[in-house]
Amino acid sequence: MSGMSAGPQPQTRKSDVDRETDRLARALLSRITEPGDLALAQLLSRYSASEIVEDLRTGRLTTKAATHWQARLPHAHPEADLAAIVRLGGRFLVPGDDEWPEVLDDLVHIGGGYAAPPLGLWVWGQPHLADLARRGVAVVGSRDATPYGVYVATELARELAERGWCVVSGAAYGIDGAAHRGALVGGGPTVAVLAGGVDVPYPRGHVSLLARIRESGLIVSEWPPGSAPMRYRFLVRNRVIAALTRGTVVVEAAARSGSLNTANRARELGRHVMAVPGPVTSALSAGSNALLREPDVVCVTGAAEVLELVGPLGTSAESEQVGPMRPRDQLDPLATRVLDAVPVRRAAGPASIAVAAGLAVSDVLRALGTLAAGGFVERIDDGWRVVR
Amino acid sequence: MSGMSAGPQPQTRKSDVDRETDRLARALLSRITEPGDLALAQLLSRYSASEIVEDLRTGRLTTKAATHWQARLPHAHPEADLAAIVRLGGRFLVPGDDEWPEVLDDLVHIGGGYAAPPLGLWVWGQPHLADLARRGVAVVGSRDATPYGVYVATELARELAERGWCVVSGAAYGIDGAAHRGALVGGGPTVAVLAGGVDVPYPRGHVSLLARIRESGLIVSEWPPGSAPMRYRFLVRNRVIAALTRGTVVVEAAARSGSLNTANRARELGRHVMAVPGPVTSALSAGSNALLREPDVVCVTGAAEVLELVGPLGTSAESEQVGPMRPRDQLDPLATRVLDAVPVRRAAGPASIAVAAGLAVSDVLRALGTLAAGGFVERIDDGWRVVR
């Protein structure tokens, strides 16, 4: 462990650590670090959260990142944070919990500064998060939505909810809010992933919408209660929206909308990326229409076309239920055929895999999404290879 | 020659027949047959038009199709038709004429009942048709267009014309008319391909538009002067719009718009197929948005994106100028690389060719369009192979 003068022995495994000790340690780390911190993710791949906290407290962890974390240590009160979330009627989920969505682990495979899975998730509401994630579809778009975008997002989300799917979004004004509202109208639970504490309703105009969301669905955040939704946190948050769902639909997005960032994370995660066409005369459709020009983005005009791609609820959901490294023989025939065609060493592009498998590229892309979600394949640069 | 008791000898080649005799014979056949007639196309691949006319007149041609043609013979006055087009200030172009667009020969490769190239084209206007075809882009769509569609078609055509491209369309109400008008505003010649005689303005409300079109551009038809634009003729006509251009842009099309038929012909011809996104709430965008869901259709939001695909005017235009079977060494490097990867016997799909060439599928599709237009490759079922 570089920079640690006398660190814990690597043979001390995470699995040996008591779950609640781990939860407390992660709650503390959640307070003193920022989500998406790759330095922390690397430490966590080798040491337990408790070990890292112990080394921080004793000053044995001397990396540059650790210095920043240590500065926040005096202000961290993880017991108080855990008590606060329980008082709200919520919980702090950590990896290993039954409710932890294992699909979040896919985040270790993506590029850029977004590769770190959440340390834990602060959750407010009744439903089982992993269950909702299994039938999750992200519906996102611009805050400055037009009546057209709001209408389409509402109707799309309503239909998805009516068919048993869970709409995941970011609770922002515009498309996000319309998506949550449509899901509620459709009678389905919906998940709002916030960029601040679950008890810090943001935007303020959505106080009552957020209250309605957690009556039947969930409010989820990587930040502990009371955290402010700062600007830079939104982009980091978007990777969770993408990871919690089988696909992301961009309904109406301006050229530099944050929702395009969610679409990019979804693509990196091997999830389906969809966009709803809009008038080329509308600047607020420029981003979503630009997405439609990318070869792996599917044009969708309604819920049926979304479900054609991410559904049906039965089969694929079961594939994901078992989590990473589930036995190959439980895969559906298409996925098995594609998996056989994915190389083990050097990564291959979808077109090349399609030829090897004797399948259409569109089928291969769909299967790769399932295989990536199941931990069978990983994306390296522009290609895919088998996870060993 | 089946059904011909004592037909002409096949060694009598078309090239030996005097051009004007051929023109007269084709003018006659143009009056007694319908364009797209595969029986006639097959005869023309083996015999000259004059030979076929002679055999029809003498009753030696006894196929079922010939019976129908013969019934019209007494009403055919090709000299009068040729005189009529000349009186208008037009001409009747036939294969071999300098002005004949050799890209029309690509039509022999497409499927269904549309495989026959035109016998000839009745043309009214000044510009050189083959020159215009080299820089042709089809802009088509629904007759019942919305203000959105009309605006987009007008602006797109204007920009294409301003950049030196020739907008080709069908002169119908709605999108077609807007496309021609936009091209005229942009100062470019535009080509209207009609489903009746060039002297039969259709629709009637476009009398003055058609007059303006032929002031700087061309009115083109497969039917001789005076022919009525009957309903079934529009679909046959569409193949000419597709063949005369490097790509077809569908601007706004309802679910069963005839413009989707033009897009299909363009695809079969290896031309670029593009669609402009529109509101999913508009039934008049249902067809164009559905096109965007097809993997080989490119979403375009403006002229720059159209030209990104079909342009630039320089290089590719030169590839097409020489016509089919031009020397390989005049191809651009990308096309050469793709041609090397296209199999000679069994056809291969673009994905497979992309792997063989080590190129992106999008590049391969672009190059295949150029190669098909140049007569180097042909589409067989779902794949491509080298033309021998």
Residue after which a domain boundary falls, among B24, B41, B76: B76
Residue closest to B185 by CA, chosen among B207, B156, B206: B156
Domain that holds residue B357: 318-386
Strand-pair partners of A273: A248, A297
Q: Does position B247 have pLDDT exceeding 80, yes or no?
A: yes
Parallel/antiparallel/unpaired status of strands A190-194 and A218-221: parallel
Among A147-151, A314-318, B109-113, the range scoring the smallest mean pLDDT is A314-318
- Rounded to 5 degrees, φ, ψ at B166 are -105, 120
Q: What sign does the dihedral A355-A361-A367-A369 (CA atoms) show?
A: positive
**Residue B166 and residue B71 share a domain:** no
**Residue B115 and residue B55 share a domain:** no
**Helices (H), ranges, B226-273:** 231-243, 258-268
Nearest CB to A292; choose among B281, B295, B299: B299
Q: Does position B316 have pLDDT exceeding 50, yes or no?
A: no
Which of B:290-309 have CB within 8 Å of A? 290, 292-293, 295, 298-302, 305
What band does A330 get if pLDDT is binned at 50, 70 and 90? low
> ipTM, 2 decimals?
0.72
A192 part of a folded domain:
yes
How many of the other CB atoms lie within 10 Å of CB of A332? Answer: 14
**Residue B167 and residue B25 share a domain:** no
Residue after which a domain boundary falls, among B260, B288, B311: B311
Query: Which residue of chain A has the CA closest to B351?
Result: A351
What band does A269 get if pLDDT is binned at 50, 70 and 90? very high
B225 part of a folded domain:
yes
Look up residue B194 and give its two tokens: 């009609």
| Element housing B191 (H / E) | strand B190-194
Q: Does position A312 have pLDDT exceeding 80, yes or no?
A: no
Q: What is the pLDDT of residues B346-373, one digit of tens each?
A: 788 888 888 777 777 777 877 887 777 6
Question: In this structure, are residues B115 and B109 in contact, taking their beta carbons and an 8 Å threshold?
Answer: yes
**Residue B280 and residue B147 share a domain:** yes
- Report the pLDDT value the prediction gives residue B312, as an integer from 0 to 100: 78
Round the average pLDDT of chain B to a whole number and report it. 88
CATH label of the domain that carries residue A287: 3.40.50.450
**Residues above pLDDT 70, as percent of chain A:** 88
Widest pairwise Cα distance in chain B: 63
Query: Which residue of chain A has the CA closest to B301?
Result: A280
Query: Which residue of chain B has the CA closest to A359?
Result: B351
Q: Give the mutation candidate from B289, B305, B382 for the A interface (greatest A CB count, under 10 A).
A: B289
Q: Give the mutation candidate from B139, B251, B299 for the A interface (greatest A CB count, under 10 A).
A: B299
Residue closest to A57 by CA, chosen among A47, A69, A42: A69
How large is the average pLDDT for residues B90-103? Answer: 96
- Report the pLDDT value the prediction gives residue A163, as an integer from 0 to 100: 94
A166 part of a folded domain:
yes
Nearest CB to B302; choose among A280, A351, A354: A280
The answer to whether A289 contacts chain B (CB < 8 Å) is yes
- Report the pLDDT value the prediction gives residue A325, as an integer from 0 to 100: 32
**Residue B222 and residue B290 share a domain:** yes
From B148's Cα to the closest Cα of chain A, the distance in A is 8
A285–B305 CB contact, under 8 Å: no
Q: Tell me how many domains chain A contains.
A: 3
- Rounded to 5 degrees, φ, ψ at B55 are -70, -30
What band does B321 get if pLDDT is binned at 50, 70 and 90? very low
CB contacts of B354 in chain A (<8 Å) are 351
Question: In this structure, are residues B189 and B166 in contact, taking their beta carbons and an 8 Å threshold?
Answer: yes
Q: Does position A133 have pLDDT exceeding 50, yes or no?
A: yes
- Report the pLDDT value the prediction gives residue B33, as an integer from 0 to 100: 95
The more confidently predicted of residues B147 and A370 is B147
- Report the pLDDT value the prediction gives residue B1, as an integer from 0 to 100: 39
CATH label of the domain that carries residue B380: 1.10.10.10
- Report the pLDDT value the prediction gives residue B315, as an integer from 0 to 100: 45
Q: Does position B320 have pLDDT exceeding 60, yes or no?
A: no
**Residue B113 and residue B252 share a domain:** yes
Q: Does position B15 have pLDDT exceeding 60, yes or no?
A: no
From B274's Cα to the closest Cα of chain A, the distance in A is 10
**Residue A53 and residue A32 share a domain:** yes
Q: What is the pLDDT of residues A210-249, one digit of tens each?
A: 999 999 999 999 999 999 999 889 999 999 999 999 999 9
Q: Which residues of B120-150 are buried (b: 16+ CB within 10 A; e: fewer)?
A: bbbbbbebebbebbbbbbbbbbbbebbebbb
Residue B67 burial class via C-beta count within 10 angstroms: exposed 0-12, middle 13-18, buried 19 and up: exposed
What band does A181 get if pLDDT is binned at 50, 70 and 90? very high
- Report the pLDDT value the prediction gives residue A102, as an integer from 0 to 100: 94
**Residue B280 and residue B148 share a domain:** yes
Q: DSSP per residue over A125-192, as a string?
A: ESS-HHHHHHTEEEEE--SS--HHHHHHHHHHHHHHHHTT-EEEE---TTHHHHHHHHHHHTT--EEE
Q: Does position A322 have pLDDT exceeding 50, yes or no?
A: no
**Residue B233 and residue B168 share a domain:** yes
Q: Does position A329 have pLDDT exceeding 90, yes or no?
A: no
Question: In this structure, are residues A171 and A192 in contact, taking their beta carbons and an 8 Å threshold?
Answer: yes
